[in-house]
Amino acid sequence: MTWADFWSLISILNGEATRANCRRLAEELSRRPVPGIIGFAERHAEALYRLDQEKFGTLPVAGMTDEAGAPFPQSADTFLYARCAVVAAGQDIWEGAFSDAGTFAPYTSAEYDGEWLLYVPDQAYQLATGKEWHRLTRYCFESYSNRDGWPHLRD
């Protein structure tokens, strides 16, 4: 799947990875041949992997502080969901984040929880085939897996 095809499909979300929007995307994706679903999963994993960088992961959760009033750090899960929200926001936001981490910052808020986007490829595959998908992608999208994005974590 080309990046243009991926972003065209992402536009179905209208900028937000709500449950309903992600269901619509999964339904649309399920109408494609299985290699298209796999291609979407690969692009999605790569998009998340490329955002897996220290400059984004160390941003505090927008609008949250701890008991002492200090910025509240993102957990591995909230960082993953924020990256999903940035992808759901579309190509312009995703690309803009790389040159300005401030573009990423608002998506750390619970208001932009992108978790539902994680399940789209699996839902599409199940809708298309009637089978559960146990998939692996070339890129791991779990937080802190991009060693180039987290230089101090390198072995």
Residue 13 or 63, more confident: 13
Long-range contacts of 150-154 (CB under 8 A, 24+ apart): 150/52, 150/53, 150/54, 150/57, 151/54, 152/54
pLDDT at 71 over 60: yes
Taking residue 8's Cβ as centre, other Cβ atoms within 10 Å add up to: 12
pLDDT at 89 over 80: yes
Q: Which of 121, 53, 41, 122 is nearest to 83 (CA)?
A: 53
What is the arithmetic mean of pLDDT over 119-128?
A: 97
Displacement of CA 114 from its chain's centroid (Å): 7
pLDDT for the residue 63: 87
What is the arithmetic mean of pLDDT over 54-83?
A: 92
pLDDT in tens, 136-154: 999 999 999 999 999 887 6
pTM: 0.94
